[in-house]
Chains A and B, each alone.
Chain A
Amino acid sequence: AQSVSQHNHHVILSEAASLELGCNYSYGGTVNLFWYVQYPGQHLQLLLKYFSGDPLVKGIKGFEAEFIKSKFSFNLRKPSVQWSDTAEYFCAVISGGSYIPTFGRGTSLIVHP
């Protein structure tokens, strides 16, 4: 069964710092990859996704993620975070012929102004 690891459970940054959140998965076949974000008091929403093509994916609000197949990774990055990026971030993976995502446990990001 697929498993998804997010190694950083809590990240605290100051505004303008760079961000990288790790996401690794276990299944080695074809995967579709997602990052979802949950702002305080709001619902989970898609940040970006990778299905195929360019492994560097750009999402909303200046976020990007890079799919590195050899490392089974899909790390999320942002060069300069803002206070409004404070949220919970979830990595999710759909494997093979499935349509159901496996979620990581999430990373709580706090950005200090």
Chain B
Amino acid sequence: DAMVIQNPRYQVTQFGKPVTLSCSQTLNHNVMYWYQQKSSQAPKLLFHYYDKDFNNEADTPDNFQSRRPNTSFCFLDIRSPGLGDAAMYLCATSRDRRSGLAGGTDTQYFGPGTRLTVL
């Protein structure tokens, strides 16, 4: 059963044309993350939501935005994609171990990723 779903799996866009990637989860986890992963590199955290609270990494460009309308869904908006933004974008979820919620382990569950190509 799919637990973290990302759509689309492949996205092709033109330079400067806005794009939105989506992520949904069936785990009821309170934390959702967006990572950028380039070939042979570690996933780079862009931002995350802790419940409704948005947490941006200091080095995430303003070009990247996110929305979390409810617990299950999270979106990544790239306002003006550049060639350097071509990458795999990973969504992940976790349940904070400190929250006292059942099943909280901080283990991250990843989606399959969306591969973004910028022409």
B42 engages A106 (CB within 8 Å) = yes
Residue A45, interface by CB 8 Å: yes
Q: How many A-B residue pairs have CB under 8 A?
A: 53
Contact residues in A for B40 (Cβ distance below 8 Å): 9, 105-106, 108
Contact residues in A for B50 (Cβ distance below 8 Å): 99
Interface residues on chain A, number (Cβ under 8 Å):
23
Give the interface size class of chain B. Answer: 20 to 34
Contact residues in B for A104 (Cβ distance below 8 Å): 42
Contact residue among B90, B96, B98 (Cβ-Cβ distance under 8 Å from A44): B90
Q: How far is the CA of A42 from the CA of B112 in the complex (A)?
A: 6
Contact residue among B41, B106, B110 (Cβ-Cβ distance under 8 Å from A99): B106
- Closest A residue to B57 using CB positions: A100
**Contacting residues of chain A (16-63) with chain B, CB-CB under 8 angstroms:** 32, 34, 36, 42-46, 49, 51
